[in-house]
Amino acid sequence: MIKTFLILTSLQILLYCSQQIILVVSDDFHTSKALLECYEDDKKMCGTFEVNLGKNGLGWGLSEVTLTQKPYDPQKHEGDKKAPAGIFRLTSVFGDKPHLSLNMPYIHNEDMICVDDTHSKYYNTIISMPQIKPQSFEKMSRDDHQYELGIVVAHNEQGIKGAGSCIFLHVQRSEGAPTAGCTSMKLQEIQDIAKWLDAKKSPLLIQIPRSSAKEVKKLFPQLKNSKLLN
């Protein structure tokens, strides 16, 4: 009983303290396309625009709140080229510029890596290159423009091996190109979102297939006017 009470209390704190929500809704688990909207309290803060998901769509990730899942729903795991479905905190912004004036913690990409080696103690963390290199990692400073600016999604914070790593919102590789498991969009769109985000407003990413729309609308009444949930 005490454990249940604590879980419900934590859920209420999460739901009510979040003033900023990025809502991403796809038609189903299998599409690599979705629509995105931004909300502050119950006010829509941006237009509705198309974003790119993983090449293989969505899979349920390790979410702050566990939404209703069917037995045959896909689950997120390392290397599956699926973006995580669920509700996740947004913790920081990263980019190529040494400094940016933002209301979020900022990570300069230079010399930083994100570790996707499931055998490494640094799995699913962004770090400076350690003395002993992980067997597999992503350089945050890239030759292409995809990590010119991005936002860290707090998926699998416990670093559970094989549950998925290095999940970001970032710049699209090209128009309409799917990702390896992140959510991508145009540079101007992510610039606008990064400028808007404020760590003090406990920003969340809610990324779901349309089949979960009714449940999310009930949990987050501030999203009642979103056409993506109707």
pTM recorded for the entire structure: 0.93
For the stretch 205-230, pLDDT in tens is 999 999 999 999 999 999 999 999 98
d(CA 140, CA 180): 15
- The mean pLDDT value for 191-213 works out to 98
- Beta-carbon neighbour count of residue 1 at 10 Å? 5
4 occurs within a structural domain: no
164 is in which domain, residue-wise?
Answer: 11-229
3 occurs within a structural domain: no
How many domains does the chain fold into?
Answer: 1
d(CA 57, CA 34): 9
The SS3 assignment for 228 reads helix
1 occurs within a structural domain: no
Q: How confident is the model at residue 6 (pLDDT cuts 50, 70, 90)?
A: very low
d(CA 164, CA 152): 13
Quick one: tokens of 159?
A: 């670093």
Quick check: 49 and 65 in contact, CB under 8 A? no
Predicted pLDDT of residue 7? 42
For the stretch 73-122, pLDDT in tens is 999 999 999 999 999 999 999 999 999 999 999 999 999 999 999 999 99
For the stretch 132-183, pLDDT in tens is 899 999 999 999 999 999 999 999 999 999 999 999 999 999 999 999 999 9
- The mean pLDDT value for 41-63 works out to 96
Predicted pLDDT of residue 18? 81
- Cβ-proximal residues to 12 (8 Å cutoff; 6+ apart), any chain: none
Q: How confident is the model at residue 16 (pLDDT cuts 50, 70, 90)?
A: low
Angle ∠(149,130,124) on CA atoms, nearest 5: 55
Whether pLDDT at 5 is above 50: no
Q: Mean pLDDT across the chain, nearest whole number? A: 93
Whether pLDDT at 9 is above 60: no
Report the DSSP beta bridge partners of residue 171: 185
Quick one: tokens of 197?
A: 């985000």
User: Can you spell out the DSSP letters for 200-217?
Assistant: GG--EEEEEEGGGHHHHH
Quick one: tokens of 100?
A: 């940016």
139 occurs within a structural domain: yes
47 occurs within a structural domain: yes
Whether pLDDT at 3 is above 70: no
200 occurs within a structural domain: yes
6 occurs within a structural domain: no
Quick check: 178 and 52 in contact, CB under 8 A? yes
- Closest Cα to residue 48, out of 60, 58, 37? 37
- Beta-carbon neighbour count of residue 2 at 10 Å? 6
5 occurs within a structural domain: no
DSSP category for residue 130: P
Predicted pLDDT of residue 161? 96
